[in-house]
């Protein structure tokens, strides 16, 4: 991890990059899509708290409904994943402002602007689209800083990274 500030998340995630020449509207469109995706992931991945004041029959009905929705979401995710050609996974270190990845693909050119498609979760096989400037390209790991410095996007990305980081720590603690 080279010079990352704030919360980071390290994982092996499907990643694809390509050269890009975004204009302001491209960045705004990607931001809106990314915020929607990060919100959806928060909804899907967050376990709701039980209401202690709820009647037992209502609580059971809600639990059954949530279980059915979970099954439907898993099946839908699998179906979409089967129809989607996923890129190869890469070792990634991600923050709200930058990314570092290890991949055996062609190296991006130093200072080039690229678009990174990063699949954060198997629960929703849709990538965040990150426009970035390459800050380190040889040899691996490659590093890039995001071009979008929108506060709302950074907030949602930080929330997502915090949630993943916390789960990672919990998994280590339990094993």
The arithmetic mean of pLDDT across residues 28-41, rounded, is 95
Question: What's the residue count for the chain?
Answer: 175
The Cα–Cα gap between 129 and 146 comes to: 10
80 lies in a domain?
Answer: no
156 lies in a domain?
Answer: yes
Beta bridge partners of 143: 100, 136
For residue 53, the tally of other CB atoms under 10 A from its CB is 6
Whole-number pLDDT of residue 137? 87
CA-to-CA separations, 85 to 81, 126, 145, 151, 170, in angstroms, rounded: 7, 11, 26, 32, 31
In terms of DSSP H, where are the helices of the chain?
24-45, 56-83, 151-174
* Higher-confidence position of 103 and 151: 151
161 lies in a domain?
Answer: yes
Task: Give the pLDDT band of residue 4 (cuts 50, 70, 90).
Answer: confident
Q: Which of 23-37, 50-64, 126-140 has the highest mean pLDDT?
A: 23-37
Whole-number pLDDT of residue 145? 97
Domain count, the chain: 1
Kindly report, residue by residue over 53-85, the tens digit of the pLDDT: 667 776 677 667 766 666 666 666 667 656 667
The arithmetic mean of pLDDT across residues 86-98, rounded, is 93
Residue 127 belongs to a domain with what CATH number?
2.40.10
Contact 139, 109 (CB under 8 A): no
Please state, rounded to an integer, the average pLDDT across all residues of the chain.
85
Whole-number pLDDT of residue 93? 95
Please state the pTM of the whole predicted model.
0.80
The arithmetic mean of pLDDT across residues 137-150, rounded, is 90
Domain that holds residue 107: 9-46+87-174
Task: Give the pLDDT band of residue 1 (cuts 50, 70, 90).
Answer: very low
Whole-number pLDDT of residue 94? 95
């Amino acid at each position: 991890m080279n010079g990352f500030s704030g919360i980071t998340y390290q994982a092996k995630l499907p990643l694809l990059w390509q050269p890009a020449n975004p204009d302001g509207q491209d960045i705004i469109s990607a931001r809106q899509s990314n915020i929607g995706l990060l919100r959806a992931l928060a909804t899907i991945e967050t376990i709701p708290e039980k209401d202690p004041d709820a009647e037992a029959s209502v609580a059971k009905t809600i639990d059954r409904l949530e279980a059915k929705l979970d099954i439907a979401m898993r099946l839908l995710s699998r179906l979409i994943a089967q129809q989607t050609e996923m890129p190869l996974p890469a070792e990634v270190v991600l923050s709200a402002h930058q990314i570092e990845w290890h991949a055996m693909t062609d190296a991006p050119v130093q200072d080039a602007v690229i678009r990174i498609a990063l699949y954060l979760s198997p629960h929703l096989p849709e990538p965040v689209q990150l426009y970035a400037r390459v800050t380190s390209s040889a040899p691996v790991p490659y590093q890039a800083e995001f071009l979008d410095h929108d506060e709302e996007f950074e907030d949602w990305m930080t929330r997502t990274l915090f949630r993943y980081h916390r789960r990672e720590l919990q998994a280590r603690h339990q094993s």
